[in-house]
Structure 1
Amino acid sequence: MINQIGLLIARIAEEESEKKKAEIRALRYQINPHFLYNTLNSIRWLAKLGRTNDVDNAVTSLVQLLEGSLERNGVFVRLGEELDLLQKYMIIQEFRYDNRIELRIDCPDHLLNVPIPRMLLQPIVENAIFHGIAPKDEDGVIDIRVEETEREQIRIAIRDDGVGIAPSRMEQLLSTDGERGSRGMTNIGLRHVHQTVQLYYGEQCGISVASEQGRGTQVTITLTKLKGDHHVQSAAG
Protein backbone atom coordinates (compact mmCIF):
# COMPACT_ATOMS: atom_id res chain seq x y z
CA MET A 1 0.00 0.00 0.00
CA ILE A 2 2.79 2.46 0.94
CA ASN A 3 4.68 1.63 -2.25
CA GLN A 4 1.54 2.17 -4.34
CA ILE A 5 0.92 5.53 -2.68
CA GLY A 6 4.51 6.52 -3.34
CA LEU A 7 4.23 5.58 -7.01
CA LEU A 8 0.94 7.49 -7.29
CA ILE A 9 2.50 10.64 -5.79
CA ALA A 10 5.47 10.37 -8.16
CA ARG A 11 3.16 9.96 -11.16
CA ILE A 12 1.06 12.97 -10.13
CA ALA A 13 4.22 15.05 -9.70
CA GLU A 14 5.45 14.05 -13.15
CA GLU A 15 2.08 14.83 -14.75
CA GLU A 16 1.98 18.21 -13.02
CA SER A 17 5.47 18.99 -14.29
CA GLU A 18 4.52 18.05 -17.86
CA LYS A 19 1.36 20.13 -17.59
CA LYS A 20 3.37 23.21 -16.59
CA LYS A 21 5.80 22.65 -19.45
CA ALA A 22 2.86 22.39 -21.87
CA GLU A 23 1.45 25.64 -20.51
CA ILE A 24 4.77 27.36 -21.13
CA ARG A 25 4.95 26.05 -24.70
CA ALA A 26 1.38 27.24 -25.32
CA LEU A 27 2.26 30.71 -24.06
CA ARG A 28 5.28 30.89 -26.36
CA TYR A 29 3.27 29.84 -29.40
CA GLN A 30 0.63 32.43 -28.49
CA ILE A 31 3.06 35.34 -28.77
CA ASN A 32 5.18 34.23 -31.73
CA PRO A 33 2.56 34.84 -34.48
CA HIS A 34 2.00 38.35 -33.11
CA PHE A 35 5.73 39.09 -33.27
CA LEU A 36 6.10 37.64 -36.77
CA TYR A 37 3.06 39.52 -38.10
CA ASN A 38 4.36 42.91 -36.93
CA THR A 39 7.86 42.25 -38.23
CA LEU A 40 6.66 41.18 -41.68
CA ASN A 41 4.38 44.20 -41.76
CA SER A 42 7.41 46.41 -41.14
CA ILE A 43 9.30 44.79 -44.02
CA ARG A 44 6.25 45.18 -46.28
CA TRP A 45 6.31 48.94 -45.70
CA LEU A 46 9.99 49.09 -46.60
CA ALA A 47 9.27 47.26 -49.87
CA LYS A 48 6.41 49.66 -50.70
CA LEU A 49 8.77 52.60 -50.21
CA GLY A 50 11.32 51.00 -52.55
CA ARG A 51 14.01 50.76 -49.89
CA THR A 52 15.55 47.56 -51.26
CA ASN A 53 18.78 47.72 -49.25
CA ASP A 54 16.79 48.20 -46.06
CA VAL A 55 14.56 45.25 -47.01
CA ASP A 56 17.66 43.08 -47.42
CA ASN A 57 19.06 44.16 -44.03
CA ALA A 58 15.68 43.73 -42.35
CA VAL A 59 15.18 40.23 -43.75
CA THR A 60 18.70 39.26 -42.64
CA SER A 61 17.92 40.48 -39.12
CA LEU A 62 14.60 38.62 -39.17
CA VAL A 63 16.32 35.37 -40.13
CA GLN A 64 18.76 35.82 -37.25
CA LEU A 65 15.87 36.49 -34.88
CA LEU A 66 13.97 33.41 -36.01
CA GLU A 67 17.08 31.28 -35.61
CA GLY A 68 17.50 32.69 -32.12
CA SER A 69 13.90 31.88 -31.22
CA LEU A 70 14.31 28.19 -32.08
CA GLU A 71 14.77 25.95 -29.06
CA ARG A 72 17.54 23.80 -30.54
CA ASN A 73 19.61 24.19 -27.38
CA GLY A 74 16.70 24.28 -24.96
CA VAL A 75 14.27 26.89 -23.70
CA PHE A 76 16.92 28.89 -21.83
CA VAL A 77 19.44 31.30 -23.30
CA ARG A 78 22.13 33.53 -21.80
CA LEU A 79 20.91 37.03 -20.95
CA GLY A 80 23.70 38.42 -23.14
CA GLU A 81 22.38 36.49 -26.16
CA GLU A 82 18.85 37.71 -25.46
CA LEU A 83 20.07 41.32 -25.41
CA ASP A 84 21.92 40.75 -28.72
CA LEU A 85 18.66 39.52 -30.27
CA LEU A 86 16.95 42.69 -29.08
CA GLN A 87 19.56 44.72 -30.95
CA LYS A 88 18.70 42.84 -34.14
CA TYR A 89 14.99 43.37 -33.50
CA MET A 90 15.60 47.12 -33.13
CA ILE A 91 17.34 47.20 -36.53
CA ILE A 92 14.06 46.09 -38.10
CA GLN A 93 11.97 48.62 -36.17
CA GLU A 94 14.29 51.53 -36.97
CA PHE A 95 13.71 50.76 -40.65
CA ARG A 96 9.98 50.89 -40.01
CA TYR A 97 9.93 54.38 -38.55
CA ASP A 98 11.45 57.56 -39.92
CA ASN A 99 11.89 58.78 -36.36
CA ARG A 100 14.82 57.31 -34.47
CA ILE A 101 14.14 54.84 -31.66
CA GLU A 102 17.17 54.38 -29.45
CA LEU A 103 17.75 51.27 -27.36
CA ARG A 104 20.00 51.74 -24.32
CA ILE A 105 21.22 48.72 -22.37
CA ASP A 106 22.90 48.80 -18.98
CA CYS A 107 23.84 45.30 -17.81
CA PRO A 108 26.82 44.36 -15.62
CA ASP A 109 29.17 41.91 -17.32
CA HIS A 110 28.80 39.29 -14.58
CA LEU A 111 25.05 39.02 -15.27
CA LEU A 112 25.36 38.43 -19.01
CA ASN A 113 25.70 34.68 -18.44
CA VAL A 114 22.56 34.36 -16.32
CA PRO A 115 20.13 31.97 -18.10
CA ILE A 116 16.63 33.28 -18.81
CA PRO A 117 13.72 31.89 -20.88
CA ARG A 118 14.28 32.51 -24.58
CA MET A 119 12.53 35.55 -26.19
CA LEU A 120 11.37 36.83 -22.80
CA LEU A 121 12.21 40.51 -23.32
CA GLN A 122 11.14 41.00 -26.93
CA PRO A 123 7.35 41.18 -26.31
CA ILE A 124 7.86 43.99 -23.78
CA VAL A 125 10.13 45.98 -26.09
CA GLU A 126 7.62 45.43 -28.88
CA ASN A 127 4.82 46.86 -26.74
CA ALA A 128 7.01 49.83 -25.81
CA ILE A 129 7.48 50.63 -29.50
CA PHE A 130 4.00 50.01 -30.89
CA HIS A 131 1.90 51.27 -27.97
CA GLY A 132 4.27 53.71 -26.28
CA ILE A 133 6.65 55.48 -28.65
CA ALA A 134 4.98 55.13 -32.07
CA PRO A 135 1.76 56.97 -31.06
CA LYS A 136 3.67 60.09 -29.98
CA ASP A 137 5.16 60.41 -33.51
CA GLU A 138 8.61 61.63 -32.47
CA ASP A 139 11.98 60.28 -31.35
CA GLY A 140 11.89 57.82 -28.48
CA VAL A 141 14.16 55.97 -26.10
CA ILE A 142 13.91 52.52 -24.52
CA ASP A 143 16.15 51.95 -21.52
CA ILE A 144 16.95 48.44 -20.24
CA ARG A 145 18.65 48.21 -16.86
CA VAL A 146 19.68 44.88 -15.32
CA GLU A 147 20.68 44.63 -11.67
CA GLU A 148 21.07 42.07 -8.91
CA THR A 149 19.18 42.60 -5.67
CA GLU A 150 20.33 41.83 -2.13
CA ARG A 151 18.07 38.75 -2.22
CA GLU A 152 20.07 37.36 -5.17
CA GLN A 153 17.24 38.08 -7.56
CA ILE A 154 17.69 39.55 -11.02
CA ARG A 155 15.66 42.65 -11.82
CA ILE A 156 15.28 43.72 -15.45
CA ALA A 157 13.64 47.14 -15.87
CA ILE A 158 12.46 48.13 -19.37
CA ARG A 159 11.41 51.77 -19.55
CA ASP A 160 10.17 53.82 -22.50
CA ASP A 161 9.43 57.54 -22.82
CA GLY A 162 6.20 56.96 -24.74
CA VAL A 163 2.63 58.08 -24.23
CA GLY A 164 2.04 55.95 -21.13
CA ILE A 165 -0.95 53.83 -20.13
CA ALA A 166 -4.30 55.12 -18.92
CA PRO A 167 -5.02 54.27 -15.26
CA SER A 168 -8.25 52.53 -16.31
CA ARG A 169 -6.20 49.98 -18.29
CA MET A 170 -3.46 49.32 -15.76
CA GLU A 171 -5.47 46.81 -13.73
CA GLN A 172 -6.27 44.75 -16.84
CA LEU A 173 -2.73 44.32 -18.12
CA LEU A 174 -1.83 41.14 -16.24
CA SER A 175 -5.37 39.84 -15.93
CA THR A 176 -6.91 37.22 -18.20
CA ASP A 177 -10.09 39.33 -18.10
CA GLY A 178 -8.42 41.76 -20.50
CA GLU A 179 -8.16 39.29 -23.39
CA ARG A 180 -11.21 40.51 -25.21
CA GLY A 181 -10.24 44.19 -25.07
CA SER A 182 -9.63 46.21 -28.20
CA ARG A 183 -5.89 46.24 -27.47
CA GLY A 184 -5.70 42.66 -26.31
CA MET A 185 -2.35 42.00 -28.00
CA THR A 186 -0.68 44.28 -25.45
CA ASN A 187 -2.25 42.20 -22.70
CA ILE A 188 -1.17 38.94 -24.34
CA GLY A 189 2.46 40.08 -24.51
CA LEU A 190 2.63 41.14 -20.87
CA ARG A 191 0.69 38.14 -19.59
CA HIS A 192 2.95 35.85 -21.62
CA VAL A 193 6.02 37.19 -19.86
CA HIS A 194 4.40 37.27 -16.42
CA GLN A 195 3.03 33.73 -16.60
CA THR A 196 6.21 32.31 -18.14
CA VAL A 197 8.34 33.78 -15.34
CA GLN A 198 5.97 32.50 -12.66
CA LEU A 199 5.78 29.03 -14.17
CA TYR A 200 9.57 28.76 -14.18
CA TYR A 201 10.51 30.67 -11.04
CA GLY A 202 7.43 30.59 -8.80
CA GLU A 203 4.85 33.11 -7.68
CA GLN A 204 7.43 35.25 -5.87
CA CYS A 205 8.69 36.29 -9.33
CA GLY A 206 6.93 37.88 -12.31
CA ILE A 207 6.49 41.36 -13.73
CA SER A 208 5.16 44.68 -12.48
CA VAL A 209 4.05 47.69 -14.51
CA ALA A 210 4.27 51.39 -13.62
CA SER A 211 3.14 54.11 -16.01
CA GLU A 212 2.40 57.81 -16.18
CA GLN A 213 0.43 59.21 -19.10
CA GLY A 214 2.56 61.45 -21.27
CA ARG A 215 5.80 60.36 -19.57
CA GLY A 216 6.19 56.67 -20.32
CA THR A 217 5.97 53.16 -18.90
CA GLN A 218 8.30 50.87 -16.98
CA VAL A 219 7.92 47.09 -16.95
CA THR A 220 10.06 45.32 -14.36
CA ILE A 221 10.82 41.59 -14.54
CA THR A 222 11.95 39.85 -11.36
CA LEU A 223 13.50 36.38 -11.49
CA THR A 224 16.15 34.39 -9.69
CA LYS A 225 19.74 33.67 -10.72
CA LEU A 226 19.04 29.94 -10.77
CA LYS A 227 17.92 28.37 -14.00
CA GLY A 228 14.18 28.47 -13.55
CA ASP A 229 13.25 25.02 -14.82
CA HIS A 230 14.11 23.65 -11.36
CA HIS A 231 10.81 25.12 -10.20
CA VAL A 232 8.84 23.41 -12.94
CA GLN A 233 10.51 20.11 -12.15
CA SER A 234 9.65 20.31 -8.43
CA ALA A 235 6.38 22.22 -8.57
CA ALA A 236 4.30 19.26 -7.49
CA GLY A 237 6.77 17.97 -4.91
Structure 2
Amino acid sequence: MLSDDTPAYGDPYGEPAHPVTPQPAARGGYGADVLWALVTAAVIGVLGLGLGLLWHALAPELPLRMAELGTERGLVYISGEPEELAAAEGWFVLLGLGFGVLVAVLAWVLLPSRRGPIQLAGVLVGAVIAGWVAWYLGHHIGLAEYERLKTSAPVDSIVHRPPDLRAIKELDFFPYAVGGTLLIPAFGAVVSYALMAAWSRWPSLRREEDEDTYADDGYDDHPLDSPR
Protein backbone atom coordinates (compact mmCIF):
# COMPACT_ATOMS: atom_id res chain seq x y z
CA MET A 1 0.00 0.00 0.00
CA LEU A 2 1.36 3.40 -1.03
CA SER A 3 2.02 6.04 1.62
CA ASP A 4 0.68 9.58 1.25
CA ASP A 5 4.03 10.98 0.12
CA THR A 6 4.59 8.32 -2.54
CA PRO A 7 4.44 9.88 -6.04
CA ALA A 8 1.64 8.74 -8.32
CA TYR A 9 2.94 7.43 -11.60
CA GLY A 10 -0.39 6.37 -13.01
CA ASP A 11 -1.17 3.37 -15.10
CA PRO A 12 1.87 2.63 -17.28
CA TYR A 13 -0.50 1.57 -20.08
CA GLY A 14 -2.94 4.43 -19.67
CA GLU A 15 -2.79 8.20 -19.53
CA PRO A 16 0.29 9.77 -17.90
CA ALA A 17 -0.17 11.14 -14.43
CA HIS A 18 1.38 14.48 -15.48
CA PRO A 19 0.28 15.33 -19.02
CA VAL A 20 2.05 18.07 -20.93
CA THR A 21 0.18 21.33 -20.64
CA PRO A 22 0.00 23.25 -23.94
CA GLN A 23 1.56 26.68 -23.70
CA PRO A 24 0.23 29.84 -25.33
CA ALA A 25 1.64 31.15 -28.57
CA ALA A 26 4.75 33.30 -28.70
CA ARG A 27 4.79 36.61 -26.89
CA GLY A 28 2.28 38.89 -28.59
CA GLY A 29 0.56 36.06 -30.46
CA TYR A 30 0.05 35.83 -34.20
CA GLY A 31 -0.47 39.57 -34.56
CA ALA A 32 3.06 40.20 -33.35
CA ASP A 33 4.37 37.46 -35.63
CA VAL A 34 2.73 39.13 -38.64
CA LEU A 35 4.07 42.54 -37.60
CA TRP A 36 7.61 41.21 -37.25
CA ALA A 37 7.28 39.41 -40.59
CA LEU A 38 6.37 42.72 -42.26
CA VAL A 39 9.32 44.42 -40.59
CA THR A 40 11.59 41.58 -41.71
CA ALA A 41 10.35 41.87 -45.30
CA ALA A 42 10.91 45.63 -45.30
CA VAL A 43 14.44 45.35 -43.90
CA ILE A 44 15.41 42.64 -46.38
CA GLY A 45 13.95 44.71 -49.21
CA VAL A 46 16.10 47.69 -48.21
CA LEU A 47 19.17 45.44 -48.03
CA GLY A 48 18.53 44.76 -51.71
CA LEU A 49 20.06 48.20 -52.36
CA GLY A 50 23.40 46.89 -51.16
CA LEU A 51 23.01 43.81 -53.32
CA GLY A 52 22.33 46.02 -56.33
CA LEU A 53 25.41 48.15 -55.71
CA LEU A 54 27.59 45.06 -55.35
CA TRP A 55 26.17 43.51 -58.51
CA HIS A 56 26.74 46.72 -60.48
CA ALA A 57 30.33 46.86 -59.25
CA LEU A 58 31.16 43.26 -60.17
CA ALA A 59 29.07 42.57 -63.27
CA PRO A 60 30.69 43.76 -66.52
CA GLU A 61 29.08 46.37 -68.73
CA LEU A 62 28.11 45.34 -72.25
CA PRO A 63 30.19 47.11 -74.95
CA LEU A 64 28.22 48.06 -78.06
CA ARG A 65 29.35 49.72 -81.28
CA MET A 66 27.50 52.49 -83.04
CA ALA A 67 27.02 51.42 -86.65
CA GLU A 68 25.26 52.57 -89.79
CA LEU A 69 22.13 50.49 -90.32
CA GLY A 70 20.94 51.53 -93.75
CA THR A 71 19.51 55.00 -93.44
CA GLU A 72 19.67 54.95 -89.63
CA ARG A 73 22.22 54.42 -86.92
CA GLY A 74 22.06 51.88 -84.12
CA LEU A 75 24.04 49.93 -81.57
CA VAL A 76 25.23 46.43 -82.42
CA TYR A 77 27.14 43.71 -80.58
CA ILE A 78 30.90 43.78 -80.98
CA SER A 79 31.00 39.98 -81.01
CA GLY A 80 28.44 37.40 -82.05
CA GLU A 81 27.97 36.01 -78.54
CA PRO A 82 28.92 38.64 -75.94
CA GLU A 83 30.16 36.97 -72.78
CA GLU A 84 29.14 40.03 -70.76
CA LEU A 85 25.49 38.96 -70.99
CA ALA A 86 26.17 35.60 -69.34
CA ALA A 87 28.56 37.20 -66.84
CA ALA A 88 25.90 39.66 -65.65
CA GLU A 89 23.44 36.80 -65.15
CA GLY A 90 26.07 34.67 -63.42
CA TRP A 91 27.11 37.37 -60.98
CA PHE A 92 23.48 38.04 -60.07
CA VAL A 93 22.87 34.34 -59.45
CA LEU A 94 25.93 33.96 -57.21
CA LEU A 95 25.36 37.17 -55.27
CA GLY A 96 21.62 36.63 -55.03
CA LEU A 97 22.02 33.09 -53.73
CA GLY A 98 24.47 34.20 -51.06
CA PHE A 99 22.20 37.10 -50.17
CA GLY A 100 19.23 34.77 -49.70
CA VAL A 101 21.21 32.44 -47.44
CA LEU A 102 22.50 35.37 -45.39
CA VAL A 103 19.13 37.03 -44.74
CA ALA A 104 17.52 33.68 -43.84
CA VAL A 105 20.24 32.94 -41.29
CA LEU A 106 20.02 36.46 -39.84
CA ALA A 107 16.23 36.23 -39.46
CA TRP A 108 16.58 32.81 -37.81
CA VAL A 109 19.31 33.90 -35.38
CA LEU A 110 18.18 37.43 -34.54
CA LEU A 111 14.46 36.65 -34.09
CA PRO A 112 14.32 33.16 -32.53
CA SER A 113 11.01 33.86 -30.81
CA ARG A 114 9.34 34.54 -34.20
CA ARG A 115 10.44 31.42 -36.04
CA GLY A 116 7.84 29.61 -38.05
CA PRO A 117 5.83 29.85 -41.29
CA ILE A 118 4.90 33.49 -40.75
CA GLN A 119 8.53 34.50 -40.40
CA LEU A 120 9.37 32.42 -43.45
CA ALA A 121 6.70 34.28 -45.42
CA GLY A 122 8.26 37.58 -44.40
CA VAL A 123 11.70 36.40 -45.46
CA LEU A 124 10.32 35.18 -48.79
CA VAL A 125 8.50 38.43 -49.59
CA GLY A 126 11.53 40.47 -48.55
CA ALA A 127 13.87 38.41 -50.72
CA VAL A 128 11.58 38.81 -53.76
CA ILE A 129 11.52 42.58 -53.21
CA ALA A 130 15.29 42.64 -52.68
CA GLY A 131 15.89 40.82 -55.97
CA TRP A 132 13.84 43.36 -57.89
CA VAL A 133 15.42 46.31 -56.06
CA ALA A 134 18.92 44.95 -56.69
CA TRP A 135 18.31 44.60 -60.42
CA TYR A 136 16.62 48.00 -60.72
CA LEU A 137 19.41 49.85 -58.92
CA GLY A 138 22.28 47.95 -60.52
CA HIS A 139 20.84 48.39 -64.02
CA HIS A 140 19.83 52.05 -63.70
CA ILE A 141 23.21 53.30 -62.47
CA GLY A 142 24.61 54.93 -65.60
CA LEU A 143 21.51 54.14 -67.68
CA ALA A 144 20.72 57.81 -68.37
CA GLU A 145 24.17 58.35 -69.90
CA TYR A 146 23.76 55.21 -71.97
CA GLU A 147 20.40 56.41 -73.29
CA ARG A 148 21.96 59.74 -74.24
CA LEU A 149 24.84 58.12 -76.11
CA LYS A 150 22.42 55.88 -78.03
CA THR A 151 21.38 58.90 -80.08
CA SER A 152 24.47 61.11 -79.94
CA ALA A 153 27.48 58.79 -80.14
CA PRO A 154 29.44 58.98 -83.40
CA VAL A 155 29.65 56.02 -85.77
CA ASP A 156 32.16 53.30 -84.79
CA SER A 157 32.37 54.57 -81.20
CA ILE A 158 31.92 52.16 -78.29
CA VAL A 159 29.00 52.62 -75.91
CA HIS A 160 28.79 50.64 -72.67
CA ARG A 161 25.40 49.46 -71.49
CA PRO A 162 24.92 48.89 -67.73
CA PRO A 163 24.53 45.25 -66.63
CA ASP A 164 21.11 43.81 -67.21
CA LEU A 165 19.17 40.56 -66.86
CA ARG A 166 17.48 38.85 -69.77
CA ALA A 167 14.69 37.64 -67.48
CA ILE A 168 13.24 41.17 -67.27
CA LYS A 169 10.36 41.85 -69.64
CA GLU A 170 8.29 45.00 -69.98
CA LEU A 171 4.55 44.56 -69.57
CA ASP A 172 1.61 46.81 -70.31
CA PHE A 173 -0.06 46.47 -66.91
CA PHE A 174 3.14 46.64 -64.84
CA PRO A 175 6.56 48.04 -65.74
CA TYR A 176 8.44 44.80 -65.28
CA ALA A 177 7.82 41.10 -64.87
CA VAL A 178 9.36 39.49 -61.80
CA GLY A 179 10.69 36.04 -62.53
CA GLY A 180 13.66 33.98 -63.58
CA THR A 181 16.95 35.18 -62.16
CA LEU A 182 15.22 37.79 -60.01
CA LEU A 183 13.86 35.00 -57.81
CA ILE A 184 17.29 33.57 -56.96
CA PRO A 185 17.54 35.49 -53.64
CA ALA A 186 14.12 34.16 -52.63
CA PHE A 187 15.12 30.63 -53.62
CA GLY A 188 18.27 30.76 -51.50
CA ALA A 189 16.36 32.20 -48.54
CA VAL A 190 13.56 29.62 -48.59
CA VAL A 191 15.88 26.62 -48.99
CA SER A 192 18.18 27.83 -46.19
CA TYR A 193 15.29 28.51 -43.84
CA ALA A 194 13.73 25.12 -44.56
CA LEU A 195 17.02 23.35 -43.83
CA MET A 196 17.46 25.17 -40.53
CA ALA A 197 13.90 24.27 -39.56
CA ALA A 198 14.44 20.63 -40.50
CA TRP A 199 17.58 20.41 -38.35
CA SER A 200 16.07 22.21 -35.37
CA ARG A 201 15.73 20.10 -32.21
CA TRP A 202 12.70 22.12 -31.06
CA PRO A 203 9.28 21.00 -32.38
CA SER A 204 7.93 24.56 -32.45
CA LEU A 205 11.32 25.92 -33.68
CA ARG A 206 11.25 28.23 -30.64
CA ARG A 207 13.45 27.04 -27.80
CA GLU A 208 11.83 29.15 -25.08
CA GLU A 209 8.35 27.84 -25.84
CA ASP A 210 9.40 24.20 -25.93
CA GLU A 211 11.43 24.49 -22.73
CA ASP A 212 8.42 26.02 -20.96
CA THR A 213 6.13 23.33 -22.37
CA TYR A 214 8.17 20.33 -21.26
CA ALA A 215 9.55 21.76 -18.01
CA ASP A 216 6.28 21.09 -16.19
CA ASP A 217 5.63 17.51 -17.33
CA GLY A 218 6.08 16.20 -13.77
CA TYR A 219 8.75 13.61 -14.42
CA ASP A 220 11.58 15.84 -13.26
CA ASP A 221 9.89 16.16 -9.88
CA HIS A 222 9.63 12.36 -9.48
CA PRO A 223 12.81 10.57 -10.53
CA LEU A 224 12.58 6.93 -11.49
CA ASP A 225 14.50 5.80 -8.40
CA SER A 226 11.98 7.34 -5.98
CA PRO A 227 10.59 4.95 -3.37
CA ARG A 228 7.40 3.22 -4.39
- TM surpasses 0.5: no
User: What TM-score range do you get, normalising by the shorter chain?
Assistant: under 0.3
Q: TM-score, normalised by structure 2?
A: 0.27
Larger radius of gyration: 2
Greater RCO structure (CA 8 Å; 6+ sep):
2
Q: TM-score, normalised by structure 1?
A: 0.26
Q: Which has the higher strand share?
A: 1
